[in-house]
Amino acid sequence: MAQTGLQDLGWAKGWGVVRLVQEKLEFVAFFDSREDAEAAAAEAGIGCQACWLSYKDGLGFPHGEKDGDE
């Protein structure tokens, strides 16, 4: 499940799906597990991928693999 913390007020972290749109990643959704995110990305089709990410609406996000599920 996506997590939030006081020190990161307004930020969410968790397994999510992003979509590549005109060479820019666009946030799609957070999911409870890596498996759920990967299934949703596969169902969404070309240009979508599952990844561990931090996200704040309107600011973009750094992304990358994380060891293990949350």
Residue-wise over 35-53: b if at least 16 C-beta within 10 A, else e? ebbbebbeeeeeebbbbbb
Domain ranges in the chain are 11-55
What CA–CA distance (Å, rounded) separates 37 from 31?
A: 6
Answer whether 54's CB lies under 8 Å from 62's CB: yes
pLDDT of 47 higher than 50: yes
The pLDDT, as a whole number, for residue 69 is 45
Instruction: Report the pLDDT averaged over residues 42-50.
Output: 92
Model's pTM, two decimal places?
Answer: 0.63
Instruction: Report the pLDDT averaged over residues 27-51.
Output: 92
